[in-house]
Amino acid sequence: MRFRQMDYTGWGRVLHASGEVARPERSRALAALAAEGPAMGNRRSYGDAPLNGGGRITDMTRMNRILGFDPETGVLHAEAGVTLGELAEIFAPRGWLPPVMPGTGFATVGGAIAMDVHGKNHQHAGSFGAHVTELELLGPTGARTVTPADLPLFRATLGGLGQTGIVASAKIAMQRCKGDVMVMTERRAPDWDGHLALLDGSDAPYVVGWIDATATGAALGRGIVEEGETASGLVARPRAARRVPFDAPGAALSPPVVRAFNRAYYARVPKAGRTSVRPIEKLFFPLDKIHDWNRLYGRRGFHQFQCVVPLAAADALRAMLERVATSGLASPLAVLKRMGPGRAGFLSFPMEGYTLAVDFPDRAAARALVGELEAMTEAAGGRIYLAKDSLASGARVRAMYPELDAWRAAVAEADPDGLYLTDLVRRLGLREAA
């Protein structure tokens, strides 16, 4: 398999790598590549999780075949490069959906496993890894089939940042759905308490809150809570996705522009709320209709801070939001969700509680603010999401993930020579003894 020198980056475009990249199309090439270095998917992790600067890495996006599907049980067998958006498009009309989907349909099956992603149904369905029934893992000594009974390797692989080997394919228990449209209900949340009350009180299968991260005072925490349930029917399909043709200037996301956008976005939903029927991607993947939307943050890129804190620490999360809202640094992209306890791996992000995600254009003040928010998260007994991180310190992350030692031991057995180290793992020193 031929390697090519390539400069590449994560979705946040702040951290970069230069190294040799292979893009196999057939499974027979993977055995040799598993002895060369780690793998990556569509690089939708925001920081350096998919980077291996100065080394070799395998791009799995051409390994995107569906290998089998059992319509009786809903078990899908797919190569790691298949995207969750492709699976939704193919199977929703047949009454099945991927059991868990993050905010972008461009996430691959392999990436969803490596990050143990969560979605808008986490409170009910848990994380993606909870629905993986089997995977083919290629390590330094060859291939092996791994199931949930294979402990600790399974739990070290799910959410394990690709450190146990290359996931070639996986079997996933798909979830039944009513069709490929979504009945969506949108409600205004006037403030923080109202926002949490709507999230806590919802019994809809899919729930997410957009939060105005610029609102202060009595309006702190205002936003829009979206609830969704799949349905069958005909709706107008979205137009072809648009592209951002150039890096936006810094003024595009200046504080006055962001505040004005947020006010208008909040006001678009009537005070009484509204219910409509939309294509499923409207709720699941709202930003995918704008390809390269990360360019809106300019050539310097952006950081996303995402944390989860226990239910009892909701006041600490409110304090974080207040710090963000008074900073003048937030973008329009901010999300608040209620999470359940479901997680599959030692380094899986979810815990039962509330998760807040906020984007910041790359500035010195924003980097300092993220540091403050990380410290507040640690003090609240929460954790940050490694799929989004580009700034954390290893010591802080180690304090947030109490099962790190168990993960480290399993990874050391699966990859004793450090073949699958990535930039994120090196930066945080995750495989080093405390």
Domain boundaries, the chain: 66-177, 181-393
**Do 60 and 81 meet the contact criterion of CB atoms below 8 Å apart?**
yes
Q: Is the pLDDT of residue 434 over 80?
A: no
Residue 140's closest CA among 41, 31, 40, 57? Answer: 31
Whole-number Å distance between alpha carbons of 322 and 211? 12
State residue 109 phi and psi, 5-degree precision: -60, -45
Beta bridge partners of 208: 226
**Do 166 and 87 meet the contact criterion of CB atoms below 8 Å apart?**
no
Residues 6+ apart with CB under 8 A from 256: none
Entry pTM: 0.96
Whole-number Å distance between alpha carbons of 299 and 306? 22
- What integer is the mean pLDDT of 400-421? 97
Residues 6+ apart with CB under 8 A from 240: none
What are the Cα distances from residue 5, in Å, to 12, 21, 49, 76, 194?
21, 6, 19, 34, 52
Q: Is the pLDDT of residue 235 over 90?
A: no
pLDDT (tens digit per residue) in 176-227: 999 999 999 999 999 999 999 999 999 999 999 999 999 999 999 999 999 9
By mean pLDDT, which of 202-206, 289-293, 386-390 is the weakest? 289-293
pLDDT of res. 236: 67
State residue 79 phi and psi, 5-degree precision: -70, 160
Residue 83 DSSP label: B
Whole-number Å distance between alpha carbons of 143 and 414? 12
Structure tokens at 355: 């998760």
3-state secondary structure of 145: strand
pLDDT (tens digit per residue) in 97-147: 999 999 999 999 999 999 999 999 999 999 999 999 999 999 988 899 999
Domain 181-393, what architecture? 2-Layer Sandwich (3.30)
pLDDT of res. 140: 87
Structure tokens at 247: 């890096």
Q: Output helix, strand, coil percentages for the chain, rounded to the nearest 5.
A: 30, 25, 45
- Reported confidence tier of residue 433, pLDDT bands at 50, 70, 90: confident
Q: Is the pLDDT of residue 270 over 80?
A: yes
- What integer is the mean pLDDT of 331-337? 96
Q: Is the pLDDT of residue 239 over 80?
A: no
- What integer is the mean pLDDT of 220-245? 86
Structure tokens at 383: 């954790």
pLDDT of res. 133: 98
State residue 370 phi and psi, 5-degree precision: -60, -40
| Rg over CA atoms, the chain | 21
| Whether the bond into 152 is cis, omega within 30 of 0 | yes
pLDDT (tens digit per residue) in 61-82: 999 999 999 999 999 999 999 9
Q: Calculate the average pLDDT of the chain.
A: 96
Whole-number Å distance between alpha carbons of 79 and 186? 36
Contacts 24+ apart (CB under 8 A), 90-96: 90/66, 91/174, 92/177, 92/179, 92/180, 92/230, 92/280, 93/179, 93/180, 95/176, 95/177, 95/178, 95/179, 96/174, 96/175, 96/176, 96/177
For 66-177, the fitting CATH number among 3.40.50.970, 3.20.20.140, 3.40.50.620, 3.30.465.10 is 3.30.465.10
Residues 6+ apart with CB under 8 A from 187: 198, 224, 225, 227, 269, 273
